[in-house]
Amino acid sequence: MKIALVSPYDFAYPGGVANHISNLDRYLCRMGHEVKVIAPASKVITTFGNRFIPIGKPRPIPNSGSIARITLSLTLASKIKTVLDEEKFDIIHLHEPFVPMLCSAVLRFSNTINIGTFHACDARPGYRLAWPIGTIMLKRRRHKLHSKIAVSQPAMRFASKYVTGNFDIIPNGVNLENFSPNVSPIEKFKDGKLNILFVGRLEKRKGVGYLLHAYRQIKHEIPNSRLIIVGPGTRLRQKYERWVKRYAIADVVFIGFAPHQELPRYYQTADVFCAPAINRESFGIVLLEAMAMGKPIIATNIDGYASVVTHDEEGWLIPPKDSQQLAQALVSIIRDEKLRQEMGRKGKLKAQQYSWENVAKRVFDCYLKVLNETPYSE
> Are 142 and 123 a contacting pair, CB within 8 Å?
no
Mean pLDDT of the chain: 92
Does 2 or 120 have the greater pLDDT score? Answer: 2
Q: What is the mean predicted confidence (pLDDT) over 30-51?
A: 96
Sign of CA dihedral 113, 126, 150, 20: positive
* C-alpha distances out from residue 63 to 69, 129, 319, Å: 10, 7, 25
What tens digit of pLDDT does each residue of 317-366 get?
Answer: 999 999 999 999 999 999 999 999 999 999 999 999 999 999 999 999 99
Q: What is the pLDDT of residue 13?
A: 87
> Are 95 and 20 a contacting pair, CB within 8 Å?
yes
Q: Where are the domains of the chain?
A: 2-173+355-373, 187-354
Q: What is the pLDDT of residue 377?
A: 47
**DSSP element (H, E) containing 225:** strand 225-230
> Are 333 and 341 a contacting pair, CB within 8 Å?
no
State how far the Cα of 137 lies from the Cα of 105, in Å rounded to an integer.
9
Q: Per-residue pLDDT for 175 more than 50?
A: yes
Q: What is the pLDDT of residue 375?
A: 57
Does 129 or 216 have the greater pLDDT score? Answer: 216
> Are 297 and 219 a contacting pair, CB within 8 Å?
no
Do the domains spanning 2-173+355-373 and 187-354 agree at the CATH topology level?
Answer: yes
Phi-psi label, residue 231: left if phi above 0, alpha if psi -120 to 50, beta otherwise: left
List, as one string, the DSSP characters of 338-370. Answer: HHHHHHHHHHHHHHGGGBHHHHHHHHHHHHHHH
What tens digit of pLDDT does each residue of 82-126 get?
Answer: 999 999 999 999 999 988 889 989 999 999 999 999 998 865 444
What tens digit of pLDDT does each residue of 45-63 get?
Answer: 999 999 999 999 999 887 6
Q: Per-residue pLDDT for 152 more than 70?
A: yes
Q: What is the mean predicted confidence (pLDDT) over 187-201?
A: 96
Q: Per-residue pLDDT for 77 more than 90?
A: yes
> Are 107 and 89 a contacting pair, CB within 8 Å?
no
> Are 167 and 349 a contacting pair, CB within 8 Å?
no
Q: Per-residue pLDDT for 192 more than 80?
A: yes
Q: What is the mean predicted confidence (pLDDT) over 18-27?
A: 96
Instruction: Find residue 273's DSSP bridge partners.
Output: 197, 297
CATH architecture of 2-173+355-373: 3-Layer(aba) Sandwich (3.40)
Q: What is the pLDDT of residue 63?
A: 64
Q: What is the mean predicted confidence (pLDDT) over 163-178?
A: 94
What tens digit of pLDDT does each residue of 238-280 get?
Answer: 999 999 999 999 999 999 999 989 999 999 999 999 999 998 8
Q: What is the pLDDT of residue 124?
A: 47
Sign of CA dihedral 69, 276, 169, 359: positive
> Are 100 and 126 a contacting pair, CB within 8 Å?
yes
* Nearest alpha carbon to residue 98 among 131, 74, 55, 57: 131
Q: Per-residue pLDDT for 128 more than 60?
A: no
Q: Please state at what angle helix 356-373 crosses helix 16-30, rounded to 10 degrees.
A: 80
Q: Per-residue pLDDT for 80 more than 70?
A: yes
Q: What is the pLDDT of residue 325?
A: 98
Q: What is the pLDDT of residue 131?
A: 43
Q: What is the mean predicted confidence (pLDDT) over 310-314?
A: 98
Q: Per-residue pLDDT for 130 more than 60?
A: no
Domain 187-354 fold = Rossmann fold (3.40.50)
